């Protein structure tokens, strides 16, 4: 069973479920023009000596398997072909899924996806020649308004793009406080193994039973990825958490369904904690932002998310003037920023 695949969807132009990437990306989704102008680990595309297709295959497989896929999952490069004078195009097989990716001919940089700049929405605010991660917030014009907006963010606890938007939205939730009805919910299938199952349940129980600790816990978890240490450091009642975990797991048959392949959604274990909401809103992957019952697109930095959510108020509160970071958080656990304008998510391929 393979737990890692992903897709890129263009900002605003939702092209549906397009199967073109690899999950657990801790770096960025890269825009390719004639020559990619981007740093990766501090290096730039240059004119180094090219490696052979076989060497490129070996380098790509080694990098992908060490950095981009879950433990127990193996990716295989099945084909290497010339793409242009500076890139090889790869076909990468992960389980039953085949992903088109790229590697520079000097073997130094791996690109999970090509994106057509001409088709990107103007709201993406992406400049391939810029090294800044700052985003310009765009106020939605078609958002449903209410006195107290209901904000539901659907994620997978170990999806790197779910954690990316969570890093952006936690400061917003803290700033707006009880002016919004905010809840993180979970996509109704698992892509990142049993650890994700367990952390989904833990987070649900902290949010529902010890809500005053939740944002601090999430702050810690998004940096470290270590649920146990964050439970301890944020003063969460472990006994109460364990009791909720057992009750929730039993009530929704979460571990049972995870182990029952007859109930899988395609290749992935089900996770039906918020199944009715997933179906109601048409949630397909992580992250999916729903405001006042409608899916909404937003950049993933705090300033943009604040602007997006504040557009849903009938009467804008003073808290919407809070100055928050406009730098897009990096995908995955840890700190850092993402200059790519990534709109990637975790979702199954077609």
Residue ranges per domain, the chain?
7-123, 150-342
Least Cα distance to 66 among 56, 54, 78, 74 occurs for 74
Tokens of residue 278, six digits: 């997933």
Tell me how far CA of residue 215 lies from CA of 91, 103, 163, 234, 289, in angstroms.
40, 39, 13, 10, 18
The per-residue pLDDT for range 186-221, each reduced to its tens digit, is: 999 999 999 999 999 999 999 999 999 998 999 999
pLDDT of 116 above 90: no
Least Cα distance to 176 among 288, 324, 300 occurs for 324
Whether 3 contacts 193, CB under 8 Å? yes
**Average pLDDT, integer, range 167-186:** 95
Q: In the prediction, which pLDDT does 45 show?
A: 42
Q: In the prediction, which pLDDT does 122 show?
A: 45
Q: In the prediction, which pLDDT does 132 show?
A: 46
* Bridge partners, 196 (sequence order): none
Whether 7 contacts 18, CB under 8 Å? yes
CA 144 to the chain's CA centroid: 24
CA distance 338 to 163: 13
Quick one: pLDDT band at residue 125, thresholds 50, 70, 90? very low
CA distance 349 to 294: 24
Q: In the prediction, which pLDDT does 72 show?
A: 58
Which of 76-85, 88-97, 140-149, 197-206 is predicted most confidently? 197-206
| Least confident window among 62-71, 207-216, 228-237, 301-310 | 62-71
What is the chain's alpha carbon radius of gyration, rounded to the nearest angstrom? 20
The per-residue pLDDT for range 303-320, each reduced to its tens digit, is: 999 999 999 999 999 999
Which contacts of 332-335 are long-range, i.e. CB under 8 A and separated by 24 or more positions?
A: 332/24, 332/25, 332/26, 332/160, 332/163, 332/164, 333/26, 333/160, 333/163, 333/221, 333/222, 333/223, 333/224, 333/225, 334/26, 334/223, 334/225, 335/223
Question: What is the pTM assigned to this prediction?
Answer: 0.63
The per-residue pLDDT for range 26-52, each reduced to its tens digit, is: 333 333 333 343 333 334 444 468 899
Specify the higher pLDDT residue, 179 or 8. 179
pLDDT of 107 above 50: yes
Tokens of residue 288, six digits: 């999916």
Please tell me the number of Cα atoms within 13 Å of 296 on its side-chain side.
32
Whether 149 contacts 314, CB under 8 Å? no
Q: In the prediction, which pLDDT does 86 show?
A: 80
CA distance 286 to 190: 10
Residue count of the chain, please give it.
350
User: DSSP readout, 11-53?
Assistant: SS--------B-S--SS-----SSS----BTTB----PPPPPH
Q: In the prediction, which pLDDT does 134 show?
A: 58
Whether 149 contacts 309, CB under 8 Å? yes
| Least confident window among 16-30, 119-133, 159-173 | 16-30
CATH classification for the domain delimited by 150-342, as one of 3.30.300.30, 3.40.30.10, 3.10.450.50, 3.40.50.300: 3.40.30.10
CA distance 286 to 264: 17
CA distance 308 to 143: 8
| Least confident window among 32-41, 52-61, 91-100, 153-162 | 32-41
The per-residue pLDDT for range 249-269, each reduced to its tens digit, is: 999 999 999 999 999 988 899
């Amino acid at each position: 069973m393979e737990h890692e695949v992903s897709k890129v969807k263009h900002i605003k132009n939702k092209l549906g479920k397009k199967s073109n990437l690899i999950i657990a990306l801790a770096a960025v989704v890269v825009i390719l023009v004639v020559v990619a102008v981007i740093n990766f680990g501090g290096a730039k595309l240059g004119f180094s000596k090219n490696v052979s297709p076989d060497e490129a295959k070996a380098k790509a497989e080694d990098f992908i398997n060490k950095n981009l896929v879950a433990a127990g999952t193996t990716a295989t490069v099945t084909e290497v072909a010339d793409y242009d004078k500076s890139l090889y195009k790869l076909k990468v097989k992960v389980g039953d899924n085949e992903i088109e990716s790229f590697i520079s001919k000097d073997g130094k940089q791996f690109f999970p996806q090509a994106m057509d700049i001409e088709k990107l929405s103007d709201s993406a605010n992406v400049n391939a020649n810029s090294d800044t991660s700052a985003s310009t917030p765009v106020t939605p014009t078609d958002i449903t308004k209410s006195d107290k907006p209901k904000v539901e963010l659907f994620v997978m606890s170990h999806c790197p793009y779910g954690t990316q938007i969570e890093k952006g939205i936690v400061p917003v939730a803290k700033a707006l406080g009880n002016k919004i009805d905010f809840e993180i919910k979970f996509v109704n299938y698992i892509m990142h193994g049993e650890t994700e199952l367990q952390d989904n349940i833990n987070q649900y129980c902290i949010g529902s039973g010890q809500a005053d600790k939740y944002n601090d816990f999430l702050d810690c978890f998004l940096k470290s990825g270590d649920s146990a240490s964050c439970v301890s450091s944020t003063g969460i009642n472990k006994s109460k958490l364990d009791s909720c975990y057992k009750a929730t797991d039993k009530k929704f048959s979460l571990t049972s369904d995870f182990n029952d392949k007859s109930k899988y959604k395609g290749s992935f274990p089900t996770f039906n904690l918020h199944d009715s909401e997933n179906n109601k809103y048409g949630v397909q992957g992580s992250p999916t932002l729903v405001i006042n019952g409608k899916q909404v697109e937003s950049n993933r930095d705090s300033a943009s998310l604040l602007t997006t959510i504040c557009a849903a108020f009938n009467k804008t509160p003073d808290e919407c003037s809070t100055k928050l970071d406009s730098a897009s958080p990096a995908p995955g656990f840890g700190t850092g920023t993402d200059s790519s304008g990534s709109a990637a998510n975790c979702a199954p391929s077609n």
